[in-house]
Chains A and B, each alone.
Chain A
Amino acid sequence: QKEVEQDPGPLSVPEGAIVSLNCTYSNSAFQYFMWYRQYSRKGPELLMYTYSSGNKEDGRFTAQVDKSSKYISLFIRDSQPSDSATYLCAMSDQAGTALIFGKGTTLSVSS
């Protein structure tokens, strides 16, 4: 079993839809959880950062962490064609250590 599991998709939705992206993990020591967006031929860009359990909202994006279930989610409301990208979950057990990534989910939003 990989440390971080993420459904690679692809996921196709119409503009305006609510998108749900998920990752599960096996290491209960993970405390820092991140979501990155990666456009084609670009480096990953940090979208959301969460420490421990709970929810965090930033504009159209909401990140949820459920440590008891070892499950994290990213919700995108009112999805736009510009949201079409690969979304990567990432996590670590200590601040300053390297991240462990999921495979990434490819999202396509059609207008």
Chain B
Amino acid sequence: SAVISQKPSRDICQRGTSLTIQCQVDSQVTMMFWYRQQPGQSLTLIATANQGSEATYESGFVIDKFPISRPNLTFSTLTVSNMSPEDSSIYLCSVQHGYGYTFGSGTRLTVV
């Protein structure tokens, strides 16, 4: 299966600032998925990122708030912009590889 390196693993940020999360995959993949996991909640899909095209966002998530970069088949970034305490969550990237999907280790974000 694919191995994903996700960073940072955690961060504490001031409200109004932005944080960029990076995911590097050890093999080429077509689709990358970005999820948010709020305390006590299931993983919620933010967007699907395909190399060479704009990301597709789920209802409730917009590009201005969560811009995504997908410059090649092994790398993607998610930016959480103009943060508020409600953005405190775990953010995860994921790829499909063979059977099943592999996840990064997550970025635990706290906004103060």
Using CB atoms and an 8 Å cutoff, list the residues of chain A in contact with chain B: 4, 6, 8, 34, 36, 41-46, 49, 88, 90, 95-96, 98-104
Contact = CB atoms under 8 A, between A and B. Distances in A.
B40 A42 contact: no
Contacts of A90: 43, 101
B92 A46 contact: no
Contacts of A95: 96
Contacts of B102: 46
B49 to A, nearest CB: 11
Interface of B: 1, 4, 6, 30-31, 33, 40-45, 48, 92, 94, 96, 99-106, 108
Nearest to A2: B42
Contact of B30 (A45, A49, A96): A96
A99 B33 CA distance: 9
19 contacts: A4-B42, A34-B101, A41-B106, A43-B103, A43-B104, A44-B92, A46-B1, A46-B100, A49-B100, A88-B42, A88-B43, A96-B30, A98-B45, A99-B33, A99-B94, A99-B101, A102-B42, A103-B40, A103-B42
Task: Name the 8 nearest CB pairs between A and B, nearest first.
Answer: A43-B103, A46-B100, A101-B42, A101-B43, A43-B105, A103-B42, A49-B100, A49-B99
